[in-house]
Amino acid sequence: MEGPITEVNLGEIPLEWNGAIAFLDRDGVLNYGSPNYINSPNELVIIPGVKEAVIALRKQGYRIVVVTNQSAIMRGHWGEERIHSIHEKLQEEIGAIDVLMTCPHRNRDRCQCRKPQPGMLNHASQLIRNQAHSEPNWWGAKPKPFHELDLMVGDRNSDMGAGWAIGARLFKVDEEVGIPSVIERIILEDVGDEFNPVG
C-alpha cells in the first residue's frame, strides 16, 4: 500500500467556503484515543463538544479534512474496510467531513504520508484546491500557507510538524479535551501555537 487511504465527500456537503482548510487529527482531537488503537466503530467515543466545534468551523466557512496515522493496518491488525466503517460512524456522530485521509504505514515504512510528513495534508489540498504544497525545508522558515486561515489541530508533535510543513496555524490540544478547547481561539483568528520542527 503506497499512499494514504482517501475518503472524499467533496460536492456532497453544502458550504460557503472561505478558501481555508481545517486539518484535524482524529484520535485525541475528535474522539478519545487508545494505546491499543480504535479497532471498531463501537470503540469510537466522541469527545463532548466536538460536533458543535465542527459545526462552528463550517459556519466560519472551512473545509474539514481529517488526517490520521493508523499503523494498525500495515501491522496486520485489521484492513482498509475497518477504517471505512470507523469513519462512517465518525461522520454519523459529528457530521459529514469533506476529506478523510488515513496513513496506514509504520514509521519504518518511510512513507511521505505519515505525520509529521505533510503528504496527507498535501493530497487533501490537491483534491480541494488543485494545489499541493512544495517540499518543506525543515531547517528553514515556516512555509507560507495557501490561505492565511489554514489550520492544523492535533494532540501530538507529529500533527504540529505536518501542519508546520504547509504553513498552517497550529493548535495543540490535550487528548482528553480535544478541539472544543481551542475552537474559540480558531474563530477569533488566533495566530496559533509556536512550534519548532527541529527542536
Summarize pLDDT for 114-133 with one digit per residue, the tens: 999 999 999 999 999 998 88
User: For 42-95, what is each residue's pLDDT tens digit?
Assistant: 999 999 999 999 999 999 999 999 999 998 787 778 788 899 999 999 999 999
33 lies in some domain: yes
Instruction: Give the domain CATH number at 156.
Output: 3.40.50.1000
pLDDT at 95: 92
182 lies in some domain: yes
Out of 25, 98, 150, 155, the active site residue is 25
Out of 27, 98, 155, 159, the active site residue is 27
| 123, 127, 130, 135: CA torsion to nearest 10 | -10
Active-site residue flag, 150:
no
Q: Round to whole Å and give the CA distance between 16 and 61.
A: 6
User: How many alpha carbons fall within 13 Å on the CB side of residue 177?
Assistant: 8
194 lies in some domain: no
Active-site residue flag, 25:
yes
125 lies in some domain: yes
Does the pTM surpass 0.85? The reply is: yes
Domain holding 103, by residue range, is: 5-187
Backbone angles phi, psi at 35, to 5 degrees: -65, -15
